[in-house]
Amino acid sequence: MILEIDDKKVFVSDAGQGIDKDKDTIVLLHGSGLSHIVWSLTEQYLSNQNYNVLAIDLPGHGNSEGKSLRSIEEISDWLEKVFNKLNISKITIIGHSQGCLEALEYFFKYPKKVKNLVFVGGSYRMPVNQDLIDLAEDGDNQAIKLMMKWSYENSKKFIGGNPVQKIINSSRDIREILAIDLVACNNYKNGSEALKSINCPTLFIFGELDKMVNLEKGKKFAELIPNSKTHIIKDCGHMIMFEKAFEMREKISEFLKK
């Protein structure tokens, strides 16, 4: 599905189903430097559970035009334009990593639009190692190697090579997309205030071996949201939707049906 927002084309993957006004809508938000592709093992599964499922490419990412947006706050306002264009409300937002910050800030600004929140491998503050930022701003492929080292429980298990490296595959992608995303995450400071506003059903999913958002940090986030649910996936790192997609999507489905 192609939309036009601010005179730029925006790509939204809809599992080939379009939008049925009689169904609830799930929105999938990717992490830093990535695209809708990361949700490929999740999108069709949830669509088959009788939901509209929309995996959005942020500006400059994947198949969407434009430059990467430079702050989480700016992204949340841009998402509101997308949702208004699609004429959808009462949305379940599932965010991974940076997508968790976007979901958090979006709820803070537009709470009436959100029915459920699912945070996958995220926290309300995500400071980024300065070495990683420096490498990314230089367009250095070492930035990707560092991300992989910190993100995966065992990156060697991926048949056909590392999936993230297939998405972020050029110096331009690293410099003009990944670096900007990492700085946006690092600079986001409203999380501790935004989380106080959450009053909808909320699920947290964490990888037991995540080095980007370690488990203790994640648990502290979850504890700040009253009546939230938490699921910890064993033998899993940060890239949960690649490493343990089947378990992740099943837990999300169970949560949404309750």
- Joined together, the tokens standing for residue 44 give 């069709």
The pLDDT of residue 185 is 97
d(CA 78, CA 67): 13
Cβ of 134: how many Cβ atoms within 10 Å?
Answer: 13
The pLDDT of residue 64 is 97
Going along the chain from its start, the domains and CATH numbers come out as 2-124+189-257 (3.40.50.1820)
Write the CA distances from 53 to 95, 134, 142, 226, integer angstroms.
Answer: 13, 35, 34, 27
**For 106-146, what is each residue's pLDDT tens digit?**
999 999 999 999 999 999 999 999 999 999 999 999 998 88
d(CA 113, CA 109): 10
d(CA 113, CA 239): 27
The pLDDT of residue 158 is 64
Angle at 248 between CA 246 and CA 251, to 5 degrees: 105
Q: Which parts of the chain have pLDDT scores under 70?
A: 153-161
In contact, 209 and 236? CB cutoff 8 Å: yes
In contact, 207 and 121? CB cutoff 8 Å: yes
**For 133-144, what is each residue's pLDDT tens digit?**
999 999 999 998
The 3-class SS string of the chain reads CEEEECCEEEEEECCCCCCCCCCCEEEEECCCCCCHHHHHHHHHHHHCCCCEEEEECCCCCCCCCCCCCCCHHHHHHHHHHHHHHHCCCCEEEEEECHHHHHHHHHHHHCHHHEEEEEEECCCCCCCCCHHHHHHHHCCCCHHHHHHHHHHCCCHHHCCCCCHHHHHCCCHHHHHHHHHHHHHHHHHCCCHHHHHHHCCCCEEEEEECCCCCCCHHHHHHHHHCCCCCEEEEECCCCCCHHHHCHHHHHHHHHHHHHC
The pLDDT of residue 146 is 83
The pLDDT of residue 61 is 97
- Side-chain half-sphere CA neighbours of 92 within 13 A: 21
- Residue with tokens 């993100």, as numbered in its chain: 151
| Residues 6 or more apart in contact with residue 258 via CB below 8 angstroms | 201
